[in-house]
Amino acid sequence: MLPKSIWLLFLGSAVYMLYSSDYYFYVKSYVKHYYAEALRLLYDANSSNEIVLENGEILFTSSALEKYTDLDSGGLYLSILGQVFDVTKGEKHYGPGQSYHAFTGRDGSAAFITGDFTESGLTDDVSSLTNKQIQSIMTWLEFYRKTYVYKGKLVGRYYDKNGKPTNERSILEERIQIAKKNDLNEDQEKSKFPPCNVEWNPDSGTRVWCTKNSGGIARNWIGVPRLFYTEPGSKKHRCACVNTNSKDFQENKNMFKTYSGCADNETSCIFKVTT
């Protein structure tokens, strides 16, 4: 068994070699770099300062955006789907005490649809909304782009610390594309089966009728009113004007019903809704 002094000599030599080698300095710099990065991320998450990118865009943390709720603090800013706008010129709408002041200093995207201006309702989480509702928020986003001053992005749900879209932003875009595709399908459906004209009279009841321009769809045929069930087995329906001689109608006959008391070839039908 080696004497204790020999072991101490080996240990001392190993420590000296490690300390004097490039490996030591590599490990030291690696640890130092990631420790500094962790501190920077912690600072960014709680910073009340904005970061200006080379392209002039500003990245806001949530705490930084919270400052912009009155003119004394630099203006009135709000975020919608992670994009930040200066709405100061709309002070009569967004200033303290005004109707939409609750939107300032935060991203309350969901409330544009729900109308819920409580703390829980003013959220950027729109995952519970339908694709169509999310598409409506995009309409609001376009409104802000045209009407107010775009400032930058909010770091969090939709953009990362470098201003790049997050995975949740990508999912949002996919849902918007689905909504656009559905709109296209609805437009195609309405061109095949245009909506009826509708009016209501308290004495006679509801009248539905067809013309060559009913539903805003111009065509060279008039059509007859039918109950149109857009989904098999659903009770949801609308009035559609159909050309009973068309191929489109013949291929979808099971989706239509005749109005009670209305002849097959009548272009106008009157009925009373029973409850």
pLDDT digits over 200-251, tens only? 888 888 999 999 999 888 999 999 999 999 776 677 889 999 999 999 899 8
The CA-based angle 228-233-239, given to 5 degrees, is 15
CA atoms within 13 A on the CB side of 19: 6
Q: What is the pTM of this model?
A: 0.59
User: What is the C-alpha separation between 129 and 143, in angstroms, rounded?
Assistant: 20
Phi and psi torsions of 69, nearest 5°: -125, 0
Scanning the structure block, which residue is given the tokens 């030599």? 13
Q: Reply yes or no on whether the pLDDT at 274 is more than 80.
A: no
> Which runs of E-coded beta strand occur in 65-217?
69-70, 75-80, 83-86, 149-154, 197-201, 205-209
DSSP 47-62: --S-EE-TTS-EEE-H
Checking if the pLDDT of 165 tops 60, the result is: yes
Q: Delineate the domains of the chain, giving CATH numbers in brackets.
A: 58-180 (3.10.120.10), 193-271 (no CATH)
Q: Report the helix count and the strand count for the chain, using DSSP H and E.
A: 8, 12
Mean pLDDT to the nearest integer, 142-150 = 96
How many whole angstroms separate alpha carbon 165 and alpha carbon 155?
Answer: 10
How many residues does this entry show for the chain? 275
**Mean of per-residue pLDDT scores for the chain:** 83
For residue range 108-143, what is the model confidence (pLDDT) as tens digits? 999 999 999 999 999 999 999 999 899 999 999 999
For 19-66, the pLDDT digits (tens) are 454 444 334 444 444 443 443 444 444 456 789 888 889 999 999 999
Evaluate if residue 275 carries a pLDDT over 80.
no
- Model confidence at 106, pLDDT cuts 50, 70, 90, reads very high
Task: Check residue 181 and give its pLDDT.
Answer: 87
